[in-house]
Amino acid sequence: MAFANYATKNLAIKIVFYGPGLSGKTTNLRYIYFKLDSSYRGDLICLESDTERTFFFDLLPVKAGLIDDFQVHFQLLTVPGQVFHEAARKSVLKGADGIIFVADSQVPLLDANLESFDNLRRNLLDSNIDLNEIPLVFQYNKRDLDNLIPVETFNNLLNPRKFPFVEASAINGWGVFETLHEIAKLAVPWVREKLFGERRRAADIEAEDRMIKLEIEEKIEKKEKPAPAGAAAAKPPAKPIPFKITKVKIKTEDDIEKEIEKLSNEFFDKTKS
């Protein structure tokens, strides 16, 4: 459930990027972090264990609108996709208010997508959460490559209940903010109802949706000049985007949830008016 700080009147909506290893979860967050104006984003945090492996749980608060009299922020986090990081995935998933399932569109990885989605379902059930009742958006990533799984196949196998889905190429930036908008417009009314028992009319939700979309667009820093009319848009370089990552050491996977709450409080203290 969303983390509320009643002293600062800030509310953190926790969005988790889930999916198989190397499907593009961290790539999404890197692109969002890179494109957002620095005045609207927090630090990008990497929580590291004492083992040789590094867990990237990218914590990214994004201000967006109001619920009751609380200022809303989005915390965007990734889970490690590799199968041997099960405990870490469960820790990050606890208290999630929305999930973005990042599927790898390459044909040989269909089974990996199905296994990861089944793993998500089981982990949610362990926390007494029904996958069909939590805000969920699918992102079909890597659509810029060849030999792709058809969208229809994805929807039949992963998404028969017809949750929102977005085709994307996260490494090139397209479909990334569209995915963020889709999960935001589901999560905000869901959190409002769960936390404050407030259910709005459909017309009010639609108006709020437009406001959230506009607010996200306004926070995107214009780092390049728009292409001239009629010209083809320049393709962003398909390589990792360099920027500073703040690393935080953790002793065990059990410390992840505590560290995330600590970072949330620290961020909220900074935003105190």
Quick check: 184 and 100 in contact, CB under 8 A?
no
Cα dihedral value 103, 241, 238, 58, nearest 10: 0
**If 0-12 CB within 10 Å is exposed, 13-18 middle and 19+ buried, where does residue 86 land?**
middle
Tell me which of 129-138, 192-201, 211-220, 237-246 is least confident. Answer: 237-246
Q: What are the contacts of 249-252 at 24+ separation with CB within 8 A? A: 249/48, 249/50, 250/47, 250/48, 250/49, 250/50, 251/49, 251/50, 252/49
CA distances from 235 to 144, 169, 189, 224 (A): 11, 11, 35, 12
Q: What is the pLDDT of residues 98-128, one digit of tens each?
A: 999 999 999 999 999 999 999 999 999 998 8
Is the pLDDT at 52 greater than 70, yes or no?
no
pLDDT at residue 240, as a whole number:
54
Quick check: 152 and 178 in contact, CB under 8 A?
no
CB neighbours of 153 closer than 8 A, spacing ≥ 6? Answer: 110
Considering only the C-alpha atoms of the chain, give the largest distance between any 2 of them, rounded to a whole number of Å.
54
Pull the structure tokens for residue 97: 């208010």
Quick check: 161 and 185 in contact, CB under 8 A?
no
DSSP 164-217: -EEE-BGGGTBTHHHHHHHHHHHHHHHHHHHHH-----HHHHHHHHHHHHHHHH
pLDDT bin (cut points 50, 70, 90) of residue 143 is very high
The CATH fold of domain 3-224+234-260: Rossmann fold (3.40.50)
pLDDT at residue 243, as a whole number:
66
Residue with tokens 């407030």: 198
CB neighbours of 78 closer than 8 A, spacing ≥ 6? Answer: 16, 17, 25, 26, 28, 29, 56, 57, 58, 92
Quick check: 202 and 269 in contact, CB under 8 A?
no
Is the pLDDT at 9 greater than 50, yes or no?
yes
- Model pTM above 0.85: yes
Compute the mean pLDDT over every residue in the chain, rounded to the nearest whole number: 82
Is the pLDDT at 36 greater than 80, yes or no?
yes
